[in-house]
Structure 1
């Protein structure tokens, strides 16, 4: 199943902003793709298939094989 997200959706999730700041970003936003077994964050193992945003460094980590239902529920709960 394919889930479509816009750049604005990913941008807002990663930075908690609706638009770029007038002076730009420091550091620049980044996206990392991880295999679920390599994702290293503080969530329980069952939640490691979810995207993780580090808003203080403008970074998002996206699992390569996420559970689509869990991701949809996670995003709906935001």
Structure 2
């Protein structure tokens, strides 16, 4: 699963710089997570860093975007390959 940011977000700006995949960005009203870039930090860390730093615990797993650990690792590897080409 990718992660998502709920309406409880207070726009504190602590999650965005913690994302190793640059999946977090400012949306129209609150921060949002691009599920195509979110690997739940698989490949980088043991736990999602945004969840670790969020002071209001508003970053749950997105039930609409289910992925296995293997799929998340494949996404991580794809994103790393794309970053090297850029």
TM-score between both structures, scaled by the size of structure 1: 0.33
Higher RCO (CA-CA < 8 Å; seq separation 6+): 2
Structure with the bigger percentage of strand = 1
Structure showing the higher helix proportion among its residues:
1
